[in-house]
């Protein structure tokens, strides 16, 4: 992920020396150049390792054990220095495969921002601190850009709802007067797909396993497992599977299995879940004890 904000800062500080057209385009030029510098070596590594599939399989070897690389561990330590963060995120993109694969990215999210982000979940451009503290994201989630999670309202019943009157750091009150956002954490299940530009409001506390949230939705309450919700306010438009199929998938906990096993049996995932595939799915991923609420990130 390229630190667009920092690049804009560079552009702004160069403002006085640049001709008009370059001044307007500099952030974009810098961003594109940085992106090429970052992606080219990754792509080259992928090609030299035998193409896209091998590249995808190469990163998880580090991730499934949950241990960051040495470089990753160093990044976690250096992350205390805010000024280094954009560079460290770039390094983690290159070295550990970015948000989808990087254990160090997950350690940073947990240690510095109080966010649990499950393995193989990803979201383009997401930074470890973009989700509010207390958020838990399951495994194998796909989150499109523009995802906003809101965890509390301003005090609408007070005479004024301005932060002067509830935020201690602004100097007008001696302690924070609203509950911290961690008191209202959002839980996102496993294998959830969240479309572009979704907003989650404070009363939604859980998005169920296997759920889908349509693009542009405003989610005001909990989303059940395997529901497809959309709109403003988001409503269930249909279910991904009939209830008996939902039960088979929920009971299997396939998302807690090692990636190697999942990929070895990828044929059950690569096509519609017809009766034949469902039968094979049940054989490969039989029901597990513990119920679908068990979490393994
Ligand atoms: C939610 C979604 C998956 C549903 O797809 P689908 O099952 O093919 O749904 P349909 O297009 O048949 O729509 C069914 C109904 O829901 C409505 N609907 C679908 N998506 C909607 C959305 N995002 N917001 C509001 N209403 C939506 C349709 O208008 C339709 O309503 P109708 O029955 O009154 O005509 C899809 O519409 C969507 O939003 N995808 C997200 C794409 C995206 O964000 N990609 C990002 C990159 S990964």
What contacts 123, CB < 8 A, 6 or more positions away? Answer: 99, 142, 143, 144, 145, 147
Give the number of the atom of ligand 1 that is nearest the alpha carbon of residue 142.
48
Tell me, in angstroms, the distance from the centre of ligand 1 to residue 238's CA: 10
Tell me, in angstroms, the distance from the centre of ligand 1 to residue 190's CA: 21
Q: Which positions of the chain have pLDDT values less than 70?
A: 1-66, 290-297
> pLDDT tens for residues 189-215?
999 999 999 999 999 999 999 999 999
Give the number of the atom of ligand 1 that is nearest the alpha carbon of residue 196.
44
What is the model's pLDDT at position 248?
97
What is the model's pLDDT at position 295?
56
What is the model's pLDDT at position 51?
40
Query: Can you give the pTM of this predicted structure?
Result: 0.81
What contacts 254, CB < 8 A, 6 or more positions away? Answer: 262, 281, 285
What is the model's pLDDT at position 84?
97
Q: Which of 67, 154, 253, 265 is catalytic?
A: 154
Helix (H, G, I), strand (E, B) or coil at 45: helix
Give the number of the atom of ligand 1 that is nearest the alpha carbon of residue 216.
23
What is the model's pLDDT at position 254?
97
Tell me, in angstroms, the distance from the centre of ligand 1 to residue 230's CA: 6
Give the number of the atom of ligand 1 that is nearest the alpha carbon of residue 213.
1
Nearest residue (CA) to ligand 1, atom 15: 237
Residue 71: CB atoms within 10 A of its CB come to 15
Give the side-chain half-sphere CA count within 13 A for 286. 2
What is the model's pLDDT at position 57?
53
Q: Which residue has the tokens 């301003």?
A: 154
Using CB distances shorter than 6 Å, the residues near ligand 1 are 144, 195-196, 212, 214-217, 228, 230-231, 237
Sign of CA dihedral 248, 260, 126, 129: positive
Tell me, in angstroms, the distance from the centre of ligand 1 to residue 207's CA: 17
**Annotated catalytic residue 162:** no
> pLDDT tens for residues 212-263?
999 999 999 999 999 999 999 999 999 999 999 999 999 999 999 988 899 9
Q: What size, in residues, is the chain?
A: 297
Structural domain spans, the chain:
1-113, 116-151+186-240, 244-297
Q: Was domain 116-151+186-240 assigned CATH 3.30.360.10?
A: no
HEC states along 204-248?
CCEECCCCEECCCCEECCCECCCEEEECCCCEEEEECCCHHHHHH
Probe residue for ligand 1, chosen from 141, 144, 195 as the CB with the greatest number of ligand atoms within 8 Å: 195
């Amino acid at each position: 992920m390229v630190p667009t904000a920092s690049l804009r800062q560079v552009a702004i500080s160069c403002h006085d020396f640049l001709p008009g057209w370059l001044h307007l385009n500099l952030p974009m030029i810098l961003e594109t150049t940085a992106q090429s510098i970052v992606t080219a070596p990754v792509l080259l590594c992928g090609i030299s390792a035998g193409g896209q599939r091998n590249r995808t399989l190469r990163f998880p070897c580090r991730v499934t054990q949950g241990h960051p690389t040495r470089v990753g561990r160093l990044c976690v330590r250096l992350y205390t220095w805010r000024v280094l963060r954009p560079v460290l995120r770039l390094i983690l993109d290159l070295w550990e495969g970015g948000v989808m694969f990087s254990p160090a990215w997950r350690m940073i999210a947990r240690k510095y921002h109080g966010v649990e982000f499950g393995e193989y979940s990803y979201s383009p451009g997401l930074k470890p601190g973009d989700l509010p503290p207390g958020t838990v994201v399951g495994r194998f989630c796909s989150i499109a850009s523009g995802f906003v999670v809101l965890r509390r309202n301003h005090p609408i019943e007070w005479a004024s709802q301005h932060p002067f009157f509830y935020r201690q750091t602004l100097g007008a009150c001696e302690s924070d007067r609203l509950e911290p956002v961690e008191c209202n954490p959002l839980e996102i299940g496993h294998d959830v797909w969240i479309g572009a530009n979704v907003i989650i409001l404070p009363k939604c506390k859980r998005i169920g396993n296997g759920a889908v949230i349509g693009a542009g939705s405003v989610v005001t309450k909990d989303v059940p497992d395997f529901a497809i919700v959309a709109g403003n306010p988001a409503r269930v438009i249909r279910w991904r599977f009939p209830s008996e199929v939902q039960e088979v998938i929920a009971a299997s906990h396939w998302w807690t299995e090692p990636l190697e096993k999942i990929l070895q049996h990828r044929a059950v995932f690569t096509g519609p879940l017809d009766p034949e595939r469902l039968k094979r799915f049940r054989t490969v991923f039989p029901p597990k004890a513990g119920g679908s609420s068990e979490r393994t990130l």
